[in-house]
């Protein structure tokens, strides 16, 4: 990696925290679970 790539990666790892995404991920998963089409199937059929 070049120096600029290394510095960019270091900045990303110090600034970005995956915990910031958890609310969005949870909302998306809940929307899929509560979806009208998905709720018509049994869990076994969705595998």
For the stretch 5-34, pLDDT in tens is: 667 777 766 676 778 889 899 998 888 878
Residue whose pair of structure tokens reads 């915990």 in the numeric block: 19
Cβ partners under 8 Å of residue 32, min gap 6? 38
Domain count of the fold of the chain: 1
Please check whether residue 6 lies inside any domain of the structure: no
Please check whether residue 1 lies inside any domain of the structure: no
Transcribe 1-47 into DSSP letters: --HHHHHHHHHHHHH--GGGGHHHHHHHHHHHHT-TTGGGS-GGGG-
pTM for this one?
0.43
For residue 30, what pLDDT is reported? Answer: 87
Show the domain range for 40. Answer: 17-47
- If 0-12 CB within 10 Å is exposed, 13-18 middle and 19+ buried, where does residue 38 land? exposed
Q: How confident is the model at residue 46 (pLDDT cuts 50, 70, 90)?
A: low
Please check whether residue 36 lies inside any domain of the structure: yes
Please check whether residue 31 lies inside any domain of the structure: yes
């Amino acid at each position: 990696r070049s120096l600029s790539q290394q510095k960019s990666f270091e900045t990303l790892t110090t600034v970005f925290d995956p915990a910031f995404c958890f609310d969005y991920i949870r909302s998306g998963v809940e929307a899929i679970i509560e979806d009208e089409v998905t709720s018509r199937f049994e869990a076994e059929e969705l595998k």
